[in-house]
Amino acid sequence: MSETLVAQLPVGPAEPAERAPTDWRTQSMQRRIRQRYAAERRFRLLGMAAVVLSAGFLAVLLVTMVYNGASGFLRTEIALPVDFANAGLTVDPARLKGPGADLALAGAGVENATKTAAIAAFGPQGSDLLSDGAWLSVRAAIKRDPAIMRGRSIVWVPASDAIDIAAKRTGSPENEAIVAHFKQRNAIATGFNWPFLTASDSNDSTRAGIWGAFKGSLFTMIVTLLIAFPIGVLSALYLEEYAPRNRWTDLIEVSINNLAAVPSIIFGLLGLAVFLGTFGLPRSAPIVGGLTLALMTMPVIVIAGRNAIKGVPPSIRDAALGIGASPIQVVFHHVLPLALPGILTGTIIGMARALGETAPLLMIGMRAFISAPPAGLSDPSTVLPVQIFLWSDQIDRGFVEKTSAAIIVLLVFLLAMNGIAIYLRNKFETRW
């Protein structure tokens, strides 16, 4: 029975006889195949070359930055013998305890005493070997141990720019000689430059630090994130989920897309006119910087957010609606959690751009010389990229390495920020 069944199976219509079978082995066919493989290889090589090239650029950038900037994290100190007993310091050691210490030392003439000690120790040009801020180290030493005021003591003080550079790399021949001379007596040492991380801007490169700008950037970013993220995400949600499709929403969409492409300096002008001019917010403050950068970042978050929301499968929405979830439940229980990774990616990009932005902040006065870290959102401050920009303008040779060091700090800041965002994104990422 089954055999008959097989035998009776209908056969398909026979191939038209006149159709010649394709010969895949002819010369031209083989050549075509070879060309195809060659094209594939070429394309792969091109792609690899592009990757290698960009990796190379990145490597060059990093190496240069680290090479130039690493020494910015170091500073040279010189052992300065000070004869406190005969330095004519007019201060009562008893007052050096407690909160009145700074006040007591203010008029004590520590600066002069330091200069005198330098001249006494290193000759007539001695004070030039030391940083302008050397006396601060002396003062700190006194505060640490007022007992030293009764006799002679050796205090390690920061060296001047020229000596610092001569010690770390190559300076002028006479400075090199001085360094060699100090080295023989173990009176010179190079150590980690803590003040670079804890101090703020200064005219003296040996005293200049990044902390003020870092804190300014941090405050600014916090303001930017707090304003741009919720507003951006809510706008994206509204536009995708609720807004009717009509001419007005089209107009808004086009406007947002264009806003993302507007040169950043224009946001600076806007911030100047609106936040400083109209609302009278304080100049140079992180809050204004944050608001301005938020304006700039928002369109990026809105666009990324809308794309991420569009990427949520409609079937999930249907599923939730189908069992009677209200639109807002659909959005907050399903759409937003699924879109969050994409939204976070957009936010990373926007925030990274905001962190590196200089131009709009120049417009709202964040380029001022600020020698103290901001204590709050409305204190005058500067930010890392502006600080880098300011330092790169300085004539003083010591600022060259500080500029590179500041760039390294900025990059570390950026990587840390992105790292957090990537961690969050992976945490929320769910496959469906």
- Residue 131 Ramachandran class (φ > 0 left, ψ -120 to 50 alpha, else beta): beta
Strands 74-83 and 188-192, by their bridges, are antiparallel
Q: Which is nearer to other proteins, 22 or 430 (CB)?
A: 430
Give alpha helix (H) positions in 238-283. 247-261, 264-271
Strand partners, 188: 78
Q: Does residue 313 come out as left (phi exceeding 0), alpha (psi in the -120 to 50 range) or beta?
A: beta
Q: Measured from the CB atom, is 207 or 317 closer to other proteins? A: 317
Alpha-carbon span 44 to 47, nearest angstrom? 5
Three-state SS at 156: strand
Segment (H or E) for 188: strand 188-192
CB-wise, 128 or 318, nearer to other proteins? Answer: 318
Task: Name which of 1 and 14 has its Cβ closer to other proteins.
Answer: 1
Neighbours of 65 (CB within 10 A): 17
Torsion over CA: 260, 265, 269, 272 (sign): positive
Residue 372 falls in which region: left (phi positive, over 0), alpha (psi -120 to 50) or beta: beta
Query: Which residue's CB is nearer to other proteins, number 178 or number 344?
Result: 344
Q: Which is nearer to other proteins, 156 or 238 (CB)?
A: 238
C-alpha distances out from residue 269 to 260, 275, 289, 351, Å = 16, 10, 12, 20
Amino acid at residue number 404: S
Closest approach, Cβ 425 to other proteins, in A, equals 15
Judged by CB, which is closer to other proteins: 107, or 322? 322
Q: How far is the CB of 326 from other proteins (least distance, A)?
A: 5
The binding site for other proteins (CB under 8 A) comprises 1, 4-5, 8, 10, 244-245, 313, 315-326, 329, 333-334, 338, 430-432
Q: Which is nearer to other proteins, 124 or 244 (CB)?
A: 244
Nearest in space to 399 (alpha carbons), one of 145, 152, 164: 164
Q: Which is nearer to other proteins, 141 or 239 (CB)?
A: 239
Given a contact cutoff of 8 angstroms between Cβ atoms, the answer to whether 196 and 206 are in contact is no
Pick 156 or 428: Cβ nearer other proteins? 428
What gap in Å lies between CA 145 and CA 158, rounded to an integer? 19
User: Residue 97: how many CA atoms within 13 Å on its side-chain side?
Assistant: 3
C-alpha to C-alpha distance for 162 and 398, rounded to whole angstroms:
8
